Chain A
Amino acid sequence: DVKVTQSSRYLVKRTGEKVFLECVQDMDHENMFWYRQDPGLGLRLIYFSYDVKMKEKGDIPEGYSVSREKKERFSLILESASTNQTSMYLCASMASGRAADTQYFGPGTRLTVL
């Protein structure tokens, strides 16, 4: 079974702090994704990566950056957290090529910015 883990289930930070959210997958997947989930809006894609050191902006990248130094790890960075970044953050991974169809999700990190 695919396993995607996220470093924290719950996180509370203050406005202006730098925040790191970590995601690790154990299936050697090439593709990894960061979403945020807000009530009534579903999941919105922040960034994704299709290979080590590669990244692409999603639909709402403003205020976020990412890092992928190793294949199994994809980090989401909030350079200066703001209250409107309070949300549930979900990481996902997916294979490439002919096996590329299903994204597998981690348990999520509920971030509160005070």
Chain B
Amino acid sequence: AQSVAQPEDQVNVAEGNPLTVKCTYSVSGNPYLFWYVQYPNRGLQFLLKYITGDNLVKGSYGFEAEFNKSQTSFHLKKPSALVSDSALYFCAVRDIRSNDYKLSFGAGTTVTVRA
């Protein structure tokens, strides 16, 4: 079984401050991990992924995420948030051994960046 937890429903930060969106996961084997972003009334847009290799992954729009196997976490970070980063963020996981390519998503975290 595989699952994702996003412990915060909402994250509020001031523009220019660091932004962190938390994600923890559970899989039987090793994980593929993903972050997606959804702007209002839009589909999901891929941000970044961890497949293998360097634990620090860099993605679109200045976002990065760090894979921590011991803590089973994959937190999304941005050093300096912008008002335009306000959106709904989803973390997702797939077991690397899975043959059916099914992703499990967290419930989502709403990020609000105030000017």
Binding site for B on A (CB under 8 A): 4, 6, 9, 31, 40-45, 48, 50, 56, 58, 90, 92, 94, 96, 100-108, 110
Contact = CB atoms under 8 A, between A and B. Distances in A.
A112 B100 CA distance: 30
A108 B100 contact: no
Nearest to B45: A105
A103 B107 contact: no
Contact of A101 (B9, B44, B49, B106): B49
Interface in B49-67: 49, 51
Contacts of A6: 43
A40 B9 CA distance: 8
A107 B43 contact: yes
How large, as a class, is the contact surface on chain B?
Answer: 20 to 34
Contacts of B44: 43, 90, 92, 105
A63 to B, nearest CB: 20
B49 A42 contact: no
Contacts of B41: 9, 108, 110
B114 interface: no
B102 A43 contact: no
Interface of B: 4, 9, 32, 34, 36, 41-46, 49, 51, 90, 92, 100-103, 105-108
B108 A107 contact: no
B108 to A, nearest CB: 5
B92 to A, nearest CB: 8
A11 to B, nearest CB: 14
Given A31-B101, A100-B101, A103-B101, 9 more contacts: A41-B107, A42-B105, A43-B44, A43-B90, A90-B44, A96-B101, A102-B49, A105-B45, A108-B41
B90 A105 contact: no
Contacts of A58: 102
Contact of B34 (A41, A45, A102, A106): A102
Contact of A48 (B49, B102, B108): B102
